Chains A and B, each alone.
Chain A
């Protein structure tokens, strides 16, 4: 390891006011197209075309700013956002913060993608339909499934789609009244439990065994003729691969249930292990994670949802088909669950994911998996040498693409835990880490994921930051308790206010109404 120096980072501080307080009356940020005189003469004033009682009386109190000032404001706010590309975003585990190739962004910004209406005639959207069809074929090979839908607009939306497909399957077989239970594991993403519940199922959540593995005996104890299906991840958020996953699947199949593999994050097993070999009926991939489409401040995203065999008939409509010459949208599918979103989905994400996959090929995808697992194990080596960091569960077993670590020891010995470390680490120019989904089974958790985008040196820097924070916890706790020190703003005051209906303020107007002591000095910063 090279001698690593921590960066003297400081986030930009623009002291940028909230836009609602900016600008001057009468300024314009953009002018809209006018109305030709002939049109105005023909139809009269707009007011006269709006039914009485439906005319807006008071103009919305939107800010009034000139164009350069709007731009300046949002450029400053963008600078006050670390994002993924400027930092070392190993931090957001389970999210696979990989590089989103710029060429794919440029391609997706062509008019052939941007300026296309989803209801155009089929013959005028052959290009995008071909991308959808081809990418479907690629994912079929990568997963072993028989057909994909790109309608889900996120990973949770894909698990919801799955719950709808399971519901439809049992409904078509006349067993829905009886099959009301979906089984998941506590280390699977919470959306599996939540979307199954939203679809109307009762949810059974399996706790891990003493080694952190999903508990097969616990599954056998709950599986029955009431089981609609299983929805789970593997490896789970802990990075532990469940080697008996096929037995889980078999157990549920034997009881007449279906099995869904949450592969939101499949980065560590691309080309290594597939949903098909483990026997799953359905799976999904997050194109904004494993397949490089950017995260976009939480979307647009795509949870590509795939199924096997007879379940393909249940996929959301329309499905893209190919007759050997032309691509078509097939809307007439009587067994389909219908729609879970309008139109075809976030196809710009599919374009980017297609381009990324084509740049990789089979060999590249395996390289991605191998590198992310290599990086993870390399990072683990360094992190476990830091006093205060431990890795609960599955001792002696190799983790795949991520690890859920614990700072319980640090907390016990210094009083400083994962929340404080998270607040400190950003002072060194890296993104705040993902701790854990709830509940926190692993105490004082944090979950980094050093996917293939990150170099050996990036991993070393990331580990050095955690080391610094942990050392401070022992030697100089004030520094960490009062962190962050190098951020755009100081620490939040009275954070508990956000749970108080008298004090929370989700809009500026609510804030103005509620803050009795708010000073309205009229000064408008530029």
Chain B
């Protein structure tokens, strides 16, 4: 049976004459002969019921763009949602570099052929190291939750203990990721998750509760700064001391864009810092730009227990010239399979390249200014909202870029308010009433450097109309 040739622009060897020449050289009559090892009972002999191919590029573009056109974007709408994926400005040069064919399409070529990739990565580690005041920064992983889960698992291995303390107020999605990594109680290597209360008033950690719950079983105390609900935790030194006194590690999840103005975790005793690279030069992409990072002190035990790959700068035979090579490759899951440290694999490399460019553009002044601008705008929005009737700011602590607003006295639900705001072209704050019922009808608003005074005032005016 002679099939009509299917000539596809992505497949150079589509043309029948080429295929025949190749088959002749191989010494078989047709392509079917190359599948001879697959027994008939395992062959799929039907035709997959898929839509007919859209082979013209123009029609394909029309088709996909028409579907995507149903999305509304944060360019058309004024967005106040954050909660783990934040709208920050992405400099044009960052886009230019991450979209370079070489970076976009490279994978894991060895040290020489993809040297530029490795140098850019090293510059990411080096700049993150300055931001975090830590000497070791690892390759990235999927997201903050996985980075935190890996840090907790490292702590469990390093201390030989099987309990971790987390704040009660934590992103439920991140918590679910962490809990999966900590395994259910029936598993032998289960790590028990215990929660520390937060002060109802300030939103910061309740140190007394931490003291009551920490024990000789505690592998690590994990906190976030700013906390999930946006507050700057200023008791880092005390938390670190309490953890260390009990022989536990102190792990801090941190928003890197805050570090131009906020003290880095290492300065208040953190042993491991982790978080998401996403604020540093990536578009939100519906959450497709998450990239977990991890950093720690330059001590052998941390490096040996860390599952993520690390690369060291190495001198070449030419004086003053550098290349980059993997550190302790053997210990990873590539080296030791199930006996390695957790696992490692393709994750989110491109975003570290974007972050390297972002930090180089921003420099120390840019990082300081962006932190200052964010915190001022955030407070401004908080001030204006607090003046609205029926609106209360839930915590007295200091926010960085997110704060929680309570609408109980307005008599309206967050869900209703957000629906109404949508009509005004606004994505209102994230509804947290299901996540934290104790805070009533509350929403978490996110304000960053991208919001102008007018944007914030527009939100206020809209809320005035929406609220009774």
Contacts and interface: CB of A to CB of B under 8 A. Distances in A.
A31 B369 CA distance: 9
B186 interface: yes
A35 B376 contact: yes
A367 B16 CA distance: 12
A30 B362 contact: yes
Given A200-B189, A278-B42, A80 B116 contact: yes
Given A50-B375, A341-B146, A59 B85 contact: no
Contacts of B72: 116, 120, 124-125
A251 interface: no
B129 A509 contact: yes
Interface stretch (B19-27, B206-214, B216-224, B459-467): B19-27
Interface string B134-173: 1111111011111000000100000000000000000101
B315 interface: yes
Interface string A96-140: 011111011111011111111111110111111011001000100
Most buried by B among A74, A99, A112, A507: A507
A362 B49 CA distance: 7
Contacts of B63: 358
Given A120-B79, A341-B145, 19 more contacts: A19-B123, A23-B363, A43-B380, A67-B361, A71-B93, A121-B418, A124-B422, A194-B338, A197-B339, A298-B139, A338-B176, A339-B180, A347-B287, A370-B34, A489-B321, A491-B316, A491-B317, A497-B312, A508-B129
B1 interface: no
Interface in A153-186: 153-157, 160, 164, 167, 171, 176-177, 180
B201 interface: no
A85 B360 contact: no
A508 B357 contact: no
A489 B34 contact: no
Interface in A332-370: 337-349, 351, 354-355, 357-365, 367-368, 370
Given A42-B380, A124-B77, A338-B179, A153 B347 contact: yes
Contacts of A476: none
Contacts of A123: 422
Nearest to B427: A120
B29 interface: no
A67 to B, nearest CB: 6
A473 B186 CA distance: 56
Given A452-B11, A501-B303, A62 B109 contact: no
Contact of A507 (B33, B102, B107, B126): B126
Given A38-B453, A489-B112, A358 B60 contact: yes
B71 A128 contact: yes
Nearest to B340: A194
Interface stretch (A216-224, A373-381, A408-416, A464-472): A373-381
B468 interface: no
Given A99-B10, A100-B105, A65 B286 contact: no
Given A121-B422, A342-B173, A156 B346 contact: yes
Interface string B87-115: 10101010011011111111111111111
B313 A81 contact: no
A359 B85 contact: no
A402 interface: no
A60 B367 contact: yes
B237 A53 contact: yes
A interface, size bucket = 35 or more
A475 interface: no
Contacts of A73: 360
Contacts of A351: 64, 68
A30 B43 CA distance: 58
Contact of A55 (B121, B180, B262): B262
Interface in A485-526: 487-495, 497-499, 501, 503-511, 513, 519
B12 A77 contact: no
Contacts of B11: 367-368, 371, 452-453
Contacts of A479: none
Contact of A298 (B84, B93, B107, B236): B107
Contacts of A295: 105-107, 346
Contact of B89 (A33, A110, A203, A241): A33
B146 A506 contact: no
B438 interface: no
B176 A243 contact: no
Contact of A63 (B139, B363, B450): B363
B327 A506 contact: yes
A190 B126 contact: no
A300 B348 contact: yes
A49 interface: yes
Contacts of A127: 67-71
Contacts of B21: 456
Given A39-B453, A489-B321, A62 B316 contact: no
B13 A117 contact: no
A438 interface: yes
B99 A107 contact: no
B142 A78 contact: no
A11 interface: yes
Contacts of B47: 362
Contacts of B105: 83-85, 97, 100, 294-296
Contact of B286 (A60, A87, A128): A128
Nearest to A274: B44
Contacts of B123: 18-20, 508
Contacts of B313: 18, 505, 508, 511
Across the A-B interface, the 6 shortest Cβ-Cβ residue pairs? A156-B345, A361-B53, A343-B287, A194-B333, A29-B361, A200-B187
Contacts of A504: 303, 312, 327
